[in-house]
Structure 1
Amino acid sequence: MSDLPTGYEFDAEPSHDRDDTGPLPVVAIVGRPNVGKSTLVNRIIGRREAVVEDTPGVTRDRVSYDANWAGRGFTLVDTGGWDPDAVGFAALVAAQAEIAISLADAVLFVVDATVGITDSDEAVVRVLRKSGKPVVLAANKVDDQRVEAEAMNLWSLGIGEPFPISAMHGRGTGDMLDAVLAALPDAPAERDAEVGGPRRVAIVGKPNVGKSSLLNKVAKEDRVVVSDVSGTTVDPVDELIVLGNKHWRFIDTAGIRRKVKNVQGHEYYASLRTNSAIERAEVVVVVIDASEPMTEQDLRIMNTVEEMGKALVIAYNKWDLVDEDRRYYLEKEIDRDLVQFRWAPRVNISAMTGRHMEKLVPAIEAALDGWQTRVPTGQLNAFLGRLVAAHPHPVRSGKQPKILFGTQATTMPPTFAIFTSGAFEPSYQRFIERRLREDFGFVGSPVHVQIRPRVKKPKN
């Protein structure tokens, strides 16, 4: 920082370290609806991450979380409530639970000890036996000695010792987790993760625009539940996917409603978790329904991504539903509606048919490159010199503030500190940002310009 003018300071660049994700053992949590699986997930991972509400069926997808117990890491997979007799939408949720079992190294089977063994529990046990996976039985909602005695009746399920626990209060969860670790295979000698870990991509948008369908198409399999019912996804769903010989962590999110204050119950917390998913992502794919007019809500979502400083890709989904005549006019409407986001790569796709899906990853990579671009200080100041010579700041009240020096304070997103002799008008600040884009690109990334006027110290 020795090349800065005396008396100026700015924040250092954040590290933005990415977590080193490798092939950790997987534990799937299964059980019928409303036995407390998501509450137990929050207890194990030590934070309120999974959406919890006293209503059956809040969790719909397989949702992965990083967990650690006694110094050993593992991946915890929460699943939707499993009803073997389910039909329609509930059957899709049950199918995700069965897939979670097939992919897991061990299964944590949760039963409501206050209710006892049900026909659904016995049906789940039959599937667990057929899978051949090691099973740890958790008798949940054991809040006192009386219920603990009733939990011992679960021995009759024939899958081993029931561990009486209270996911709400944490009672007995330590012994249960010790049993889970004992059931897991030995940790691999080496982890084959990429250096720095997979890049994080959040998929966001209004409800029912096709975010989960997009994730399934990218993954080339049904990783998450897809339904015409608006609001199917509740928890952010993390999936590790290999594309173009690279590992990516895609995060499917709940649809962002008009205003968080207008939603209730689990939808309120799902909206908050969607914002959290954007915060921990590096690049955000905003999905827009091409078959419907763009709304203020779509623009608000993109503004949120820009304000959070994340790389941005705009995906117009359901392009197959737009006829040829309509596409000509739609392109013109998009150019008009997205005038403030012309810097973001745009792809017209169909998650249902796979149309132009091959364009998505190059757009994401371009946005990440722009997000990480750094302009050398000498090159930046040469640019500023040419800019001021051709277009000086207008004179106001007989004074004309000048640019003294400029430097790029951070990347991710590119942030520039411009040191000046006086305050700049907002319009001139936006002009600098626009010209920075024209000269240096920054495709897919917000650009933040901070004007630092010199403050004269009063004479003693």
Structure 2
Amino acid sequence: MSPDGNGRDVTGEYDDEGGWISAELAEFEENERGAGAQDEPDTGPMPVVAVVGRPNVGKSTLVNRIIGRREAVVEDVPGVTRDRVTYEGTWRGRRFTLVDTGGWDPDATGMALRIAEQAQVAVELADVILFVVDATVGVTDADEVVASVLRRSGKPIVLAANKVDDQRMELEATTLWSLGLGEPHPVSALHGRSSGDLLDILLEIMPEAPPQRFAAERGPRRVALVGKPNVGKSSLLNKLAGEERVLVDPMAGTTRDPVDELVELGGKTWRFVDTAGIRRRERELQGADFYAGMRTKAALERSEVAVVLIDASEVLTEQDLRIISMVIESGRCMVVAFNKWDLVDEDRRYYLEKEIDRQLVRVPWALRVNISAKTGRHVDRLVPAIERALDSWGTRVPTARLNAFLSELIAATPPPVRGGKQPKILFATQASVEPPKFVLFTSGFLEETYRRFIERRLREEFGFAGSPVEVTMRIREKRGAKKQK
């Protein structure tokens, strides 16, 4: 293999392969151009609509109806939504931010009180308030108390009379005039009845969004906080944000919807996503927990780096390892954060390090930090690890340098003989970044052990700390035979 300045094989030994390699390379370059499309235009702050109301009046169902997909977790029991969760909505070409909140119960105590406090925060930050009331129940004492608080806020308010499924129920909705919030607008979040009319009214009173502007750089990098329930994901997000942004409770499973939060750290803005704890087996999930698990996976797919939290005060479990495997399969870069490190004594730390090295043998490349979300110990080490992982995730190796490296590697350690013949690596290229993917154009099949050997040496030569690396093959077959990967 003798690459020219562009890293292409120019020897006469493989004349019949020149056209094949060029065609294969052209295919990868075309795919890469398609994958590297322009980032979406950056926009200024969009109008914020807070959806509030007492528990189980259909707020999340209405949110799903407005955004046009089943994103918010919905179940026919009160108290499913607990944090304030943001979504992007679009109607008649105008974009806005929709904030789904937990049930607002003025008489709440304990966790329910904290859920109500999150709803009040959403009202303070909103431009428009969408107050949802169950028309089939009518005005309750809780509705009247919430209405009085909303009137004092001075914000524009739209009163939605939900669960109006037919014309007969529209007459029932007229009783909601007594709340003193103006005309009640009948709607059925479940069936979509009059939802378009409701959105028209919202557009009339919400402020205009600023004009779109195109930024040279991408927006804040997205970091997903994942792990099993009660491992400290929400505590870490609150510590990073410097406020109680999401609910924290000793009861496992407090978070159900992924919660985004913009946080300023290290002179940069990051978008951290707190996710629901991933249970042991999907088939054990029911109701809201099942959909919460789906949202967690979707949040991971939308993120660029995953911070996997593991409880350092306990032994690593099969559940922890399954979550790590899920991150590997997603192709995201990864930082493993061992939380609650302050609860581990010196003797236990020594043996824990040994356990970690043994059990994380599949991901020796994952960056590791030991932190305490509760006390803030070593939390400052998290961002440098995330930045290093993201740098690795986006690393591109020049083709000439890659082929020169492989020439030396193959000369020192040739591929093993298979079927009486020794396969040759004719050419190599990096097909993509985020995550880095390398393609070897070969004259025959390379054993998996040898591909892992190449991956290991690529990491030693070029880094890739914290990032998965994929090494695949394109095999030159006889004419008419099918290529393999």
TM range (shorter): over 0.9
Q: 1:68 aligns with which of 72, 90, 95?
A: 90
> Is the Cα contact below 8 Å between 1:33 and 1:56 reproduced in 2?
yes
Q: 2:150 aligns with which of 124, 128, 139?
A: 128
Counterpart position of 1:7: 20
> Is the Cα contact below 8 Å between 2:43 and 2:211 reproduced in 1?
no
Once the two structures are TM-superposed, the CA of residue 125 in structure 1 deviates from its matched residue by 0.8
Once the two structures are TM-superposed, the CA of residue 132 in structure 1 deviates from its matched residue by 1.6
**2:266 corresponds to 1:266:** no
Counterpart position of 2:217: 195
More off after superposition, 23-32 vs 335-344: 335-344
Q: Distance in 2 between matches of 1:16 and 1:217?
A: 35
Counterpart position of 1:412: 434
Q: 2:372 aligns with which of 344, 350, 353?
A: 350
Once the two structures are TM-superposed, the CA of residue 80 in structure 1 deviates from its matched residue by 0.6
Counterpart position of 2:131: 109
Counterpart position of 2:203: 181
Q: Distance in 2 between matches of 1:65 and 1:352?
A: 29
Q: Amino acid of the residue matched to residue 261 of structure 1?
A: R
Q: Distance in 2 between matches of 1:121 and 1:458?
A: 73
Counterpart position of 1:327: 349
Q: Distance in 1 between matches of 2:212 and 2:328?
A: 38
Correspondence 1:81-92 to 2 at 5 A: 81-92=103-114
Q: Distance in 2 between matches of 1:192 and 1:419?
A: 39
> Is the Cα contact below 8 Å between 1:23 and 1:191 reproduced in 2?
no
Q: 2:362 aligns with which of 330, 340, 347?
A: 340
Write out per-residue CA displacement over residues 389-415 of structure 1, whole angstroms, 9 at most, x where no aligned residue.
111112233211111000000001000
Query: SS of the residue aligned with 1:98?
Result: helix
Q: 1:366 aligns with which of 377, 388, 394?
A: 388
Q: 2:314 aligns with which of 279, 283, 292?
A: 292
Q: Distance in 2 between matches of 1:455 and 1:129?
A: 74
Counterpart position of 1:453: 475
Once the two structures are TM-superposed, the CA of residue 183 in structure 1 deviates from its matched residue by 2.3
Q: 1:396 aligns with which of 418, 421, 437?
A: 418
Counterpart position of 1:275: 297
Counterpart position of 2:179: 157
Q: Amino acid of the residue matched to residue 45 of structure 2?
A: P
Write out per-residue CA displacement over residues 106-125 of structure 1, whole angstroms, 9 at most, x where no aligned residue.
11000000000001101111
Counterpart position of 2:325: 303
Q: Amino acid of the residue matched to residue 7 of structure 1?
A: W
More off after superposition, 295-304 vs 411-420: 295-304
Q: Distance in 1 between matches of 2:190 and 2:8?
A: 56
> Is the Cα contact below 8 Å between 1:61 and 1:80 reproduced in 2?
yes
> Is the Cα contact below 8 Å between 2:7 and 2:400 reproduced in 1?
no
Query: SS of the residue aligned with 1:6?
Result: helix
Correspondence 1:207-246 to 2 at 5 A: 207-246=229-268
- 1:184 and 1:315, CA in 2 relative to 1: closer, same or farther beyond 3 A? same
> Is the Cα contact below 8 Å between 1:344 and 1:445 reproduced in 2?
yes
Q: Distance in 1 between matches of 2:158 and 2:464?
A: 51
Query: SS of the residue aligned with 1:107?
Result: strand
Once the two structures are TM-superposed, the CA of residue 329 in structure 1 deviates from its matched residue by 2.0
Counterpart position of 2:122: 100
Report how many aligned residue pairs link the two structures. Answer: 459
Give the fraction of aligned pairs with identical amino acids, expressed as a percent. 67
> Is the Cα contact below 8 Å between 2:8 and 2:427 reproduced in 1?
no
Write out per-residue CA displacement over residues 151-195 of structure 1, whole angstroms, 9 at most, x where no aligned residue.
011111001111100111111112211221222223335769783
Query: SS of the residue aligned with 2:178?
Result: helix
- 1:376 and 1:222, CA in 2 relative to 1: closer, same or farther beyond 3 A? same
Counterpart position of 1:55: 77
Q: Distance in 1 between matches of 2:395 and 2:274?
A: 27
**2:161 corresponds to 1:139:** yes
Q: Distance in 2 between matches of 1:174 and 1:35?
A: 19
Q: Amino acid of the residue matched to residue 269 of structure 1?
A: Y
Q: Amino acid of the residue matched to residue 213 of structure 1?
A: S
> Is the Cα contact below 8 Å between 1:23 and 1:193 reproduced in 2?
no
**2:317 corresponds to 1:317:** no
Write out per-residue CA displacement over residues 284-343 of structure 1, whole angstroms, 9 at most, x where no aligned residue.
111111111011111111111111111111111111111233222222222222222121
RMSD: 1.8
Q: Distance in 2 between matches of 1:91 and 1:175?
A: 33
Q: Distance in 2 between matches of 1:235 and 1:296?
A: 24
Q: Amino acid of the residue matched to residue 396 of structure 2?
A: R
Q: Distance in 2 between matches of 1:190 and 1:422?
A: 52
Q: Distance in 1 between matches of 2:185 and 2:39?
A: 36
Correspondence 1:12-23 to 2 at 5 A: 12-13=31-32, 14-15=35-36, 18-19=39-40, 20=42, 22-23=44-45
Q: Amino acid of the residue matched to residue 19 of structure 2?
A: T
> Is the Cα contact below 8 Å between 2:7 and 2:399 reproduced in 1?
no
More off after superposition, 184-193 vs 219-228: 184-193
TM-score for both structures, normalised by structure 1: 0.96
Q: Distance in 1 between matches of 2:421 and 2:288?
A: 56
> Is the Cα contact below 8 Å between 1:22 and 1:192 reproduced in 2?
no
Q: Distance in 1 between matches of 2:103 and 2:255?
A: 14
Once the two structures are TM-superposed, the CA of residue 7 in structure 1 deviates from its matched residue by 2.7
Q: Amino acid of the residue matched to residue 366 of structure 1?
A: R
- 1:337 and 1:22, CA in 2 relative to 1: closer, same or farther beyond 3 A? farther
> Is the Cα contact below 8 Å between 2:7 and 2:403 reproduced in 1?
no
More off after superposition, 137-146 vs 297-306: 297-306
**2:456 corresponds to 1:443:** no
Q: Which residues of structure 2 form unaligned runs of 5+?
A: 1-5, 10-17
Once the two structures are TM-superposed, the CA of residue 458 in structure 1 deviates from its matched residue by 5.6
Q: 1:38 aligns with which of 33, 39, 60?
A: 60
Write out per-residue CA displacement over residues 207-250 of structure 1, whole angstroms, 9 at most, x where no aligned residue.
11011111111111111111111111111111222222322211
> Is the Cα contact below 8 Å between 2:95 and 2:209 reproduced in 1?
no
- 1:341 and 1:62, CA in 2 relative to 1: closer, same or farther beyond 3 A? same
> Is the Cα contact below 8 Å between 2:8 and 2:400 reproduced in 1?
no
Q: Distance in 2 between matches of 1:62 and 1:199?
A: 21
More off after superposition, 182-191 vs 143-152: 182-191
**2:446 corresponds to 1:424:** yes
> Is the Cα contact below 8 Å between 1:344 and 1:444 reproduced in 2?
yes
